[in-house]
């Protein structure tokens, strides 16, 4: 992984307990024009809106562009875990989203595309099945 840009600062801002204050670091990056989306591209459909709402909730942001990179807007592995858990608990997709998917599809559009593909595969398997499902069998 190679950063797109580098910002040199004298010292990392720390919280009262001596840990790196990630919110202030993110604010510094935004103030320098780093980590900003060029233009806001809103979610295009219901599925993208649902994914974006979960991201906003977890990342404590008012809005997220469908093309914002999860890790560049404050996401980390703990928050990624929260997102995949919320996707599952709210039944956004037909199957759980593996954590690695968020790492390989770090935008709302890409993650929604993965979930959309899950739904399409489920529909294809059901439609192509030669075995009729009898009432009461499952």
SS (H, E, C) the chain: CCCCCCCCCCCCCECCCCCECHHHHHHHHHHCCCCCCCCCCCCCCHHHHHHHHHHHHHHCCCCCCCCCCCCCCCCCHHHHHHHHHHHHHCCCCCCCCCHHHHHHCCCHHHHHHHHHHHHHHHHHHHHHCCCCCCCCCC
Confidence of residue 78 (pLDDT cuts 50, 70, 90): very high
pTM for the whole thing?
0.67
CATH entry, 40-128, from 1.10.10.10, 3.40.50.300, 1.10.1200.10, 3.40.190.10 = 1.10.1200.10
Each residue's pLDDT tens digit, 86-99: 999 999 999 999 99
**pLDDT at 34 > cutoff 60:** no
Calculate the average pLDDT of the chain.
85
Tell me what pLDDT residue 137 has.
54
Confidence of residue 35 (pLDDT cuts 50, 70, 90): very low
Confidence of residue 31 (pLDDT cuts 50, 70, 90): low
């Amino acid at each position: 992984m190679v950063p797109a840009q580098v910002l040199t600062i004298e010292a990392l801002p720390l919280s009262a307990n001596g840990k790196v204050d990630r919110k202030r670091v993110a604010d510094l990056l935004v103030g320098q024009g780093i980590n900003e989306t060029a233009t806001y591209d809103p979610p295009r459909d219901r599925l993208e809106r649902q994914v974006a709402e979960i991201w906003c909730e977890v990342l404590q942001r008012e809005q997220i562009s469908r093309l914002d990179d999860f890790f560049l807007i404050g996401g980390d592995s703990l928050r990624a875990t929260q997102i995949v858990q919320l996707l599952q608990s709210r039944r956004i997709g037909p199957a759980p989203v593996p954590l690695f998917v968020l790492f390989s599809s770090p935008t709302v559009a890409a993650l929604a595309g993965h979930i959309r593909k899950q739904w399409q595969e489920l529909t294809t398997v059901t439609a192509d099945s030669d075995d009729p499902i009898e009432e009461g069998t499952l």
